[in-house]
Amino acid sequence: MKKALITGATDGIGREIVKELANRDYSLIIHGRNREKAAKVVAELKKTNNRDYNIEIADLESQLEVYQMAERIKSSQKKVDILINNAGTYQQNFKYSQDKIEKTLAVNFHSHFILTLFLLKNIQNSNDPRIINVSSISHSSKIDLNDIWEPKNYDAMKAYKDSKTAMNLFTFKLARLYQNKIAINCLDPGVIDTKVLRRGWSLNGSPAENGAITPVYLADSEKVKGETGNYYINKRKSKPASITYDKDLQDQLWNKSIEMIKHQEIKSAIKKIINQVEY
Ligand SMILES: NC(=O)c1ccc[n+]([C@@H]2O[C@H](COP(=O)([O-])OP(=O)(O)OC[C@H]3O[C@@H](n4cnc5c(N)ncnc54)[C@H](OP(=O)(O)O)[C@@H]3O)[C@@H](O)[C@H]2O)c1
């Protein structure tokens, strides 16, 4: 049975992804920041698919909690076949994360950067390894990589869009590094009626289950097995902002993301991993 880890599985699109994967016989690691909400999702899943589900709690605002979660998963799971980096937030007002990084960027992108790098070995133990990054059509077509961590003039929409451009840049760099080893893609899930949409846009979205269609396709379909380094909308390859293909920008973000790890223990561990990855 394949094992999938889904971040932000306690609400919205993530909750629908786990429902769908449970129907397809996956063993699931349900990530959330709130244990009660995660337990409720599991209770719901068990009504139709009664098996063991793992719950992992970590606030993605905290680098330490992300690191500790990654360590727990590494020691308890020999392999993780699918990682879906889905959790996200829209912050109307400027807030710092626990590590003094603008919160949207910390949650939507930087936490996933750290989590993914720590789990690479376990993901490589799969015979069909896949990483799926939930991005958005709402992403910036230019970005100031020095400003995003602590913006001088906070603009909520810009912070959100920058976090998604960062996710795309990260996806394409990692896909280059792991060519023929891990399938790594990103996607826009559509305009979906969730907290993120309600906070950022005055739009009526489609039902949450529609948001799970493309992530589940990239996780599970034989049609995209081995496909890597692409951005999808509605199960089709699409083109994100052209800057996200800029290799220099990808490298700059990569280096800055390491620099912005505030705990020496985590930074050293990440550098060790990266030394094995980069060639
Ligand atoms: N909805 C759309 O139209 C749309 C469009 C494009 C992209 N997206 C992306 O889709 C992804 C899923 O979002 P959604 O629309 O389903 O929104 P949502 O219903 O608010 O779900 C977001 C998930 O992320 C979790 N989360 C938020 N902050 C967290 C933190 N600090 N630590 C740990 N978990 C945290 C939430 O946990 P709680 O349950 O505790 O709140 C929830 O499980 C996001 O990456 C979003 O940017 C959405």
Percentage of the chain modeled with pLDDT above 70: 99
164 with 136: CB under 8 angstroms? Answer: yes
Q: How far is the CA of 55 from the centre of ligand 1 (A)?
A: 17
pLDDT of residue 111: 99
Higher-confidence position of 204 and 107? 107
**Position 204 confidence tier, pLDDT thresholds 50, 70, 90:** confident
Q: What is the C-alpha to C-alpha distance for residues 161 and 151, in angstroms, rounded to an integer?
A: 13
User: Helix, strand, or coil here: 35?
Assistant: helix
- Band of the pLDDT at 82, cuts 50, 70, 90? very high
Pocket lining: 33 vs ligand 1, CB cutoff 6 Å: yes
Alpha helical stretches, state H, 80-126: 103-105, 111-124
Q: Each residue of 215-232: pLDDT tens digit?
A: 999 999 999 999 999 999
Residue 276: pLDDT band with limits 50, 70, 90? confident
Mean pLDDT, the chain, rounded, equals: 97
pLDDT value, residue 25: 87
Task: Tell me the CATH number of domain 3-277, given options 3.90.1150.10, 3.40.50.720, 3.40.50.10490, 3.30.365.10.
Answer: 3.40.50.720
Enumerate residues 6+ apart whose C-beta is below 8 A from 37: 10, 11
Cβ contact 67:43 at 8 Å = no
pLDDT tens, residue by residue, 138-151: 999 999 999 999 99
Mutation choice for ligand 1 from 135, 161, 194, CB with most ligand atoms inside 8 A: 194
Which pLDDT value is given to residue 240?
98
CA distances from 73 to 42, 66, 95, 133 (A): 18, 11, 29, 19
Q: Is the CB of 215 under 6 A from ligand 1?
A: no
Find out whether the beta carbon of 193 lies less than 6 Å from any atom of ligand 1.
Answer: no
Distance of CA 105 to the CA centre of its chain: 12
pLDDT, residue 191, reads 98
Burial letters 212-234, b for 16+ CB under 10 A, else e: bbbbbbbbbeeebeebbbbbbbe
Q: Do residues 4 and 28 touch, judged by C-beta distance below 8 A? A: yes
Q: What is the DSSP string of 49-74?
A: S-S--EEEE--TT-HHHHHHHHHHHH
Q: What is the pLDDT of residues 7-36, one digit of tens each?
A: 999 999 999 999 999 999 899 999 999 999
Q: How far apart are CA 165 and CA 228, in angstroms?
A: 17
Decide whether any atom of ligand 1 lies within 6 Å of the 258 Cβ.
no
Tokens matching residue 13: 């699109």
pLDDT at 279 over 80: no
User: Is residue 169 predicted with pLDDT exceeding 80?
Assistant: yes
